[in-house]
């Protein structure tokens, strides 16, 4: 489920009358601004001042953060008990999904606020706007950080998407985060004997590797987890590709080893995967060199399938059926 709502609108600033916008507020670290600053950059405004910070967000009181950014889960707690020689799972049933539109103000503080007007061409999706805004303001915030560091850009007091007006009035959009209810998931039995049989050879094989190979697997796995958590499709794609490079390329920039590895997994001639892998590499180059910020869902599925297949091959010693099917479908789709 998702929650949708707005805060801050009034008769002079009705919903839909402003421009798509982004707001981020940093608390300064024991840094007192004087004189107070109000910099109007046309498409952005920077305020460095002192006062209360009005902020708001969608809250989920009985949920916990999920493993992916901007996702929440209402957990199902429960106990596992032995009864008459059988194990019985007793869930603590809570069918409520608590959602609230939170709005508060901080005590007076020294702060830096950045309001940014997004282009009219941006799509209606909350996460698309948040992703684009973070990318657009990154050079400006990076420059300020290089100049003054965390004493100026300290803790983030608010990061919001909404509407901005010519007078810099701000309407806050509370959409974006999603929440899932664990109690609706089908109950699944984990046979821990099967789990032990599966994970033990992985642990033993990892321990038998040399330190250089273990370090490559550590780096690749860290990029894998970064890609899994990330909501920005560009950063998600790049993180996946860096995992691939850590596994297959070392210090070599020639992608032939990747083509060879994928061909071996699919049991096909390397020529059959050369073009789709080359396309993925071409997108990697355009993204890393700033020539594009366009990443489709197909691109993400393809690079994710390649990453999972190579990581499974190195960590598990084999590629699972689901990953193999996904890799075959993705590579064929890229090659069609």
Distance CA 222, CA 318 (A): 20
Q: Could you tell me how far CA 287 lies from the centroid of its own chain?
A: 17
Mean pLDDT of 316-335: 87
Instruction: Work out the pLDDT band at 333, boundaries 50, 70, 90.
Output: low
Of the candidates 176, 144, 148, 152, the one whose C-alpha atom is nearest the C-alpha of residue 162 is 176
Among the listed ranges 64-68, 168-172, 194-198, 253-257, which one has the minimum average pLDDT value?
A: 253-257
Strands 71-74 and 178-181: parallel
- For residue 5 the two structure tokens come to 């709502």
Q: Residue 193: its pLDDT value, please?
A: 93
Of the candidates 207, 217, 234, the one whose C-alpha atom is nearest the C-alpha of residue 290 is 234
Mean pLDDT of 271-277: 91
Radius of gyration of the chain (CA): 24
Q: Residue 284: its pLDDT value, please?
A: 93
Mean pLDDT of 286-297: 90
Q: Residue 334: its pLDDT value, please?
A: 57
**Coil, strand, or helix at residue 87?**
strand
pTM for this structure? 0.85
| pLDDT mean across residues, the chain | 93
Instruction: Work out the pLDDT band at 205, boundaries 50, 70, 90.
Output: very high
- For residue 209 the two structure tokens come to 């590797």
Of the candidates 25, 24, 22, 171, the one whose C-alpha atom is nearest the C-alpha of residue 109 is 25
């Amino acid at each position: 489920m998702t929650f949708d709502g707005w805060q801050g609108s009034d008769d002079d600033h009705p919903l839909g009358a402003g421009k798509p916008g982004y707001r981020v507020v940093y608390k300064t670290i024991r840094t007192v601004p004087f004189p107070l600053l109000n910099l109007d950059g046309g498409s952005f405004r920077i305020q460095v001042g002192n006062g209360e910070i009005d902020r708001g967000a969608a809250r989920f009181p009985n949920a916990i953060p999920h493993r992916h950014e901007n996702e929440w889960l209402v957990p199902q707690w429960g106990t596992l008990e032995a009864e008459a020689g059988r194990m019985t799972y007793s869930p603590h049933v809570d069918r409520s999904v608590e959602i609230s539109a939170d709005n508060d103000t901080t005590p007076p503080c020294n702060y830096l606020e950045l309001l940014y007007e997004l282009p009219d061409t941006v799509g209606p999706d909350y996460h698309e706007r948040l992703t684009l805004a973070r990318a657009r303001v990154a050079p400006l915030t990076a420059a300020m950080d290089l100049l003054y560091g965390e004493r100026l850009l300290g803790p983030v007091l608010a990061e919001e998407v909404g509407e901005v007006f010519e007078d810099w009035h701000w309407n806050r959009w509370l959409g974006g985060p999603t929440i899932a209810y664990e109690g609706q998931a089908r109950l699944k039995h984990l046979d821990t004997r099967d789990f032990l049989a599966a994970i033990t050879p992985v642990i033993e094989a990892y321990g038998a590797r040399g330190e250089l190979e273990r370090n490559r697997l550590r780096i690749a796995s860290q990029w894998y987890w970064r890609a899994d958590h990330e909501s920005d499709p560009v950063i998600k794609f790049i993180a996946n590709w860096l995992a691939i490079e850590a596994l297959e390329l070392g210090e070599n920039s020639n992608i032939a080893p990747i083509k060879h590895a994928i061909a071996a997994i699919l049991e096909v001639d390397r020529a059959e995967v050369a073009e789709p892998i080359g396309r993925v590499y071409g997108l990697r180059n355009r993204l890393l060199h700033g020539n594009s910020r366009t990443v489709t869902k197909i691109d993400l599925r393809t690079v994710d399938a390649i990453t999972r297949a190579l990581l499974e091959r190195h960590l598990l010693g084999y590629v699972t059926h689901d990953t193999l099917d996904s890799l075959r479908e993705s590579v064929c789709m890229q090659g069609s």
